[in-house]
Structure 1
């Protein structure tokens, strides 16, 4: 069946799209053993023989090269002569040859474009890499650096960069003929690689190695005896264990490593990491035009605006620029218009786009275990190129995937290390060990989200585990409405719209959904009516990306959600809390960010019973601009372990009964600029391990009762400008291990430490730090 499908794709390929035809021909050739008779009668003899002969010739040339009967330049010249017969356009042949090599169609044969035969050289294929090449040269040529690790997400052009570097004149002048390029890959034969390294570096008959360990030991001994500048490029390394068996020391010996996972590269003083960035707009356009038009600029006959719109959807990723540009090469402008619309909706524009881009990137997902893979696919719930609180993602993993918070956080770090998402922080919080990621944000590249969307949508729509809207639309997708009378199996549903009124929602049956992410940009929004029937819902996330806070209606629908565990609201006008006290009493976690309407909370002090939150574990309020005072009843959270009130600039005081939070382990009262004092009852927080009062500029003193916090291990009190003196009672903080503060308060802590033989305290002095990164939503 696979062979039949490939043949149909080949038959449907335009005669002007030679590369696509050849590409499918290569794939068919790989199945020759199974479908040889079928091919013989269905595929034109000239094309079939052309493909077959080219592969056979490449294999023969590779063998001659490895046996030493042909040098590299002669092999490349012979390869080019064969490829030059593919079309009548030498420039197009050069493009085809390079792309065939990049797509691994030659089974490891060394393929380069001989610059003396066409007007295109390595520099033409390495568009936009000049700055990166210069940075890598500078790193490699430092005497103290022996290993340079180039890391970045799949498709960034790490291999192209490494190849360009190996052909750089300055590098060749230093290392002469001692530049060795080795593709390691995901499942390498280390013994064979080490044997190859011996032959190319030592250049004499190698011993018969019994195993990898012996090969590594003997090669290391040899390298210590011979001192000559040598550069070994280890491309596409997936495992640190494999890499460590391929690293060596020697006078003048250097290693360049390319990898998708930065944790692969060991951290040593002689190691320098280089994160390969995305291309800027100018270089991205040049590379896109190179593959789409065979030149580095937009042709005068082209629709400039449309070209730039399509190119912009590649978001500076070289592989996307190459694949999408190649897919549109020679196509009429209606095809370009269609491609633009599909890209905006996260769809593939052709089979080559899906296979050339998604299949390449999907190898990054294949190395993840099943749990981490599922977590990656959940990233499709959130929009690309936006900073999203890590807490929102972890809520899904904890409550839907049933992963412990610490394990979920480890998975988050793994995905980040593999460049499958980006992590950023305002660097103020050290609280992540206590289960809060409030100061951490993640974002994802468009292409990585498109991959998650593609992988998550391979089942029939009503059978998918995840149902995502990839882009904002004015209403629900028409495909969804076709199945509105059928129950969906999706565990996670993500809906991205504009303003939604009550009558705009159709009746959908998401009976299995455990997480609902509602994304919109509007000033008014009505919650979907089907929400009340989502009986298994545990996680509700409502994000408004408009410039103004939105008024949300339909909140009474939440009262029927008996399983709801966590709710996260962002940039909304929050209604009076007492109206929804029934819902609040069942929640374990509430997070409110950039919300208004909380200024009315102080009016509830006379009716504490309405605000009892008996099962609340985690309570978060951030940038709630009109919050002035918290009601007494809000501290009736006997189970709460984490409490975070941050960036609420009008907050003047904390409740006097704060000490009722008897289970609290983490307390963050950060950047509350109007806060003047802490309540004396804070001393009753007997289980508190971490406290953050940073950036509370009006805080003048700490209460004596703070010395009663016998389990307090970490205290962040940086940038408390008016806090001049510590209370004597802090000497009783015997568990305190780490204090972060400014220099004046730090001197007091250090004196206290010097007088206390039992205090094992690290005092970290920090300078004032001002940032508006939180505005970059």
Structure 2
């Protein structure tokens, strides 16, 4: 694409005038006839391209300055052609001179299209890749919350799967040839129901039949019909209506399905709980060509077509366990009889085999024997008979964890089931609860260890982010619902007043009876997690939690009121509010009152901030605040308060995917002790105030993927402590400040994807502390002339890794 090569009304007009001038001169004079006709032919060939580019540039709103060079060349060419018309036929000297000039003009135009145009076209293609990558990243990121784009995509299947060939054949037959609309996969937890459902969705025959109409929805214990339908609308790219009732949602769904056309639909409802048959019946009636695949721990006699998934056979169970435990490795010294006994104890449950296998991988023979002894003496820890054996195995696996890792594993239950857990949220918690390092490396090491044991699954959207910059906003963990239940059970062994964790899932407005009966008796938990659904009306009952240090609020309603008993949390250090609903949530009694002066970390995700009060700006202990996918522009704009020494201990601000942010607020520049500022994926941000240079203590500045940001402020020269700068994928940035060389402490610069940069300011040669530049092939050459000025400078060229396969299906 050459969308920025030519375009805009000015260029289109200039090109048209030039072409008409050539045509007129060809008609009026015989001089230079052959040369002018060749020039006319060249211009005729590029006319359709010029028209397309002009149209695209209007759509893309590209600035005219990008085409100034070509505009000047066309105007010069027009002037030359008009002068040729005045040359007399007898003036051989002038004819020779102007003939050479015309031939030079045509050659220069050809060169421009063949070389310069190609270079700029390459740049534009890279810009498209950056935008696509940003969109893809955003869709993945938005998938952390129910109801957003990408959440109905079929998850991938793990690499090593055994024992599912026969169930897969049976399931495919029921879906492709069976007469029943509803097919149920029923089995106890950990048997692989979800794995089988994912496998059939990825099967070539299934994909050929249903094409783009495969929806994978995690239903959970109490799904809302409106939330499920919102997901279906968003997944198909349709505007999501504001449903008033369930009936309204069903009516809108019926219309959407008609728009999809006659093509069949496969709807997967994963992890459906008992009592939800009516919801399945309602969905079933919407379209005769719809197939509904249900996975559940329960059986549904109403639906005749059921596959009862059984535990793995001995041979398959042994293969899976040995793969997970690396028992077949040449260095393994574990006797085969011990391996066989442990496999037998796992009762063929794939989850148990995988978790136990990974927990024993690389351990001494004595540990394996100790596990066997525990199992021989242990008893069931859960009431559910179907899960007794499985959960007994899983609990024993936890005993191999060191105490801190076990505590961190139990903390994961603070977040809803079947949702991605942001690693940065865990870091905020664990820094305060366990005194982990603030750089996040300790927390990531813990997640890695838990992942090795299959206690969590790690999801990394932007794989290079943490590797090269210690940036973990694209890093998540996911936990199997059964493992979350195990964590909650483990945390509930002590009397409620003595528990370390207070974890409650509230459905509707039904508070647990024990909560009401608890009355004024305090609970001494250090961590509290309160999860509410879209029907919750914020009618809280008092609950004294005087020792809570971390409060996690998982919400889904559009309007939410913070619980009144927060007033008594005088030891609260971390507040995490995450909205998993479709629409941004407004916290009615936010900003926070002054009594929460002990807070050190605030993390808000997918909420709307309409004001920032004096009480927040005077939080003397606040060290970090994060806004993720929030609507913050109005709140930032309305904040006109100037407080000397405001937020004196605030060291880090994170603003990620806040797409209503157009300009960084000037008051932010008054936070004098700020050390780290991350404004990333804010695609409407265009300007940073000149007062930015007042942040004299800033050490880390991330502006990744602020795709409309035009420039850095000149005052950046004053950031003499800045060590790390990330402007990668700032595709609209066309130049760096001349004063860049005054960043005397800069050691790391990330500028991959900055395709608008054509040169560097000469002052970069003064960046004597610069050790590494992360860039791509298109920007690496800019540093060639400065390699000898900056000793030990390493240019690290990273290649793009963007999947554009989904573009093939777009119809323009």
Q: Does 1:721 align with 2:755?
A: yes
The structural deviation recorded for 1:579 is: 4.7
The match for 2:809 is none
Q: Does 1:444 align with 2:479?
A: yes
Superposed, which structure 2 residues align to 1:75-90 within 5 Å? none
**Cα 1:611/1:557, change in 2 over 3 Å:** same
Contact 2:591 2:611 in 1 (8 A): no
Q: Of 323, 333, 358, which residue of structure 2 is paired with 1:260?
A: 358
The structural deviation recorded for 1:183 is: 8.7
Contact 2:465 2:472 in 1 (8 A): no
The match for 2:687 is 653
Q: Distance in 2 between matches of 1:525 and 1:500?
A: 11
Q: Distance in 2 between matches of 1:184 and 1:480?
A: 46
The match for 1:314 is none
Q: Does 1:540 align with 2:560?
A: no
Contact 1:576 1:598 in 2 (8 A): no
Q: Distance in 2 between matches of 1:182 and 1:425?
A: 22
Contact 1:611 1:634 in 2 (8 A): no
Q: Of 388, 392, 410, which residue of structure 1 is paired with 2:425?
A: 392
Q: Of 398, 411, 416, which residue of structure 2 is paired with 1:365?
A: 398
The match for 2:585 is 550
Q: Of 673, 694, 698, which residue of structure 2 is paired with 1:664?
A: 698
Q: Distance in 2 between matches of 1:158 and 1:672?
A: 53
Contact 1:184 1:234 in 2 (8 A): no
Q: Distance in 1 between matches of 2:782 and 2:752?
A: 14
**Cα 1:684/1:772, change in 2 over 3 Å:** farther
Q: C-alpha offsets along residues 505-530 of structure 1, whole Å, 9 cap, x if unaligned?
A: 01110011111111111111111000
**Cα 1:445/1:470, change in 2 over 3 Å:** farther
The match for 1:641 is 675
Q: Does 1:741 align with 2:778?
A: no
The match for 2:524 is 489
Q: Distance in 2 between matches of 1:469 and 1:583?
A: 32
Equivalent residue of 1:609, what SS?
A: coil
**Cα 1:486/1:523, change in 2 over 3 Å:** same
The structural deviation recorded for 1:264 is: 5.1
Equivalent residue of 2:434, what SS?
A: coil
Q: Distance in 2 between matches of 1:555 and 1:158?
A: 55
Q: C-alpha offsets along residues 487-517 of structure 1, whole Å, 9 cap, x if unaligned?
A: 0011111111135888710111001111111
Q: Of 415, 419, 433, which residue of structure 2 is paired with 1:382?
A: 415
Q: Distance in 2 between matches of 1:468 and 1:718?
A: 43
- The number of residue pairs the alignment matches comes to 477
The structural deviation recorded for 1:576 is: 1.2
Contact 1:664 1:687 in 2 (8 A): yes
The structural deviation recorded for 1:673 is: 1.8
Q: Does 1:560 align with 2:658?
A: no
Q: Does 1:456 align with 2:491?
A: yes
Superposed, which structure 2 residues align to 1:409-448 within 5 Å? 409-427=444-462, 430=465, 436-448=471-483
The structural deviation recorded for 1:352 is: 5.4
**Cα 1:505/1:158, change in 2 over 3 Å:** farther
**Cα 1:746/1:158, change in 2 over 3 Å:** farther
Q: C-alpha offsets along residues 260-298 of structure 1, whole Å, 9 cap, x if unaligned?
A: 169859xxxxxxxxxxxxxxxxxxxxxxxxxxxxxxxxx
**Cα 1:715/1:694, change in 2 over 3 Å:** same
Q: Does 1:703 align with 2:716?
A: no
The match for 1:712 is 746
The structural deviation recorded for 1:684 is: 2.4
Q: Distance in 1 between matches of 2:715 and 2:505?
A: 49
The structural deviation recorded for 1:412 is: 2.4
Contact 1:466 1:491 in 2 (8 A): yes
Superposed, which structure 2 residues align to 1:459-470 within 5 Å? 459-470=494-505
Superposed, which structure 2 residues align to 1:233-272 within 5 Å? 259-260=357-358
Equivalent residue of 1:691, what SS?
A: strand
Contact 2:775 2:795 in 1 (8 A): no
Equivalent residue of 1:400, what SS?
A: helix
The structural deviation recorded for 1:483 is: 0.7
Q: Does 1:681 align with 2:715?
A: yes
Q: Distance in 2 between matches of 1:509 and 1:682?
A: 48
**Cα 1:636/1:428, change in 2 over 3 Å:** farther
Contact 1:591 1:621 in 2 (8 A): yes
Q: Of 511, 517, 527, which residue of structure 1 is paired with 2:562?
A: 527
Q: Distance in 1 between matches of 2:696 and 2:559?
A: 39
The match for 2:53 is none
The match for 1:73 is none
Q: Distance in 2 between matches of 1:130 and 1:671?
A: 36
Q: Distance in 1 between matches of 2:384 and 2:580?
A: 32
**Cα 1:729/1:159, change in 2 over 3 Å:** farther
The structural deviation recorded for 1:726 is: 1.7
Q: Distance in 2 between matches of 1:742 and 1:182?
A: 38
Q: Of 656, 659, 681, which residue of structure 2 is paired with 1:622?
A: 656
**Cα 1:192/1:623, change in 2 over 3 Å:** closer
The structural deviation recorded for 1:639 is: 2.5
The structural deviation recorded for 1:658 is: 1.9
**Cα 1:722/1:614, change in 2 over 3 Å:** same
Q: Does 1:517 align with 2:552?
A: yes
Greater shift after overlay, 609-618 or 432-441? 432-441
Q: Distance in 1 between matches of 2:414 and 2:597?
A: 23
**Cα 1:182/1:483, change in 2 over 3 Å:** closer
In the superposition, the TM-score normalised over structure 1's length comes to 0.55
Q: Distance in 2 between matches of 1:262 and 1:692?
A: 41
Q: Distance in 2 between matches of 1:685 and 1:728?
A: 18
Equivalent residue of 1:543, what SS?
A: strand
Contact 1:712 1:736 in 2 (8 A): yes
Contact 2:359 2:400 in 1 (8 A): no
Equivalent residue of 1:673, what SS?
A: coil
The match for 2:102 is none
Q: Which runs of 5+ in 2 are unaligned?
A: 1-162, 164-190, 200-309, 344-353, 364-379, 807-812
Q: Of 618, 624, 631, which residue of structure 2 is paired with 1:596?
A: 631
**Cα 1:158/1:494, change in 2 over 3 Å:** farther
Q: Distance in 2 between matches of 1:479 and 1:369?
A: 33
Q: Which runs of 5+ in 1 are unaligned?
A: 1-97, 99-124, 133-154, 167-179, 198-231, 237-255, 266-326, 328-346
The structural deviation recorded for 1:590 is: 0.5
**Cα 1:591/1:661, change in 2 over 3 Å:** same
The structural deviation recorded for 1:644 is: 0.6
Contact 2:749 2:773 in 1 (8 A): yes
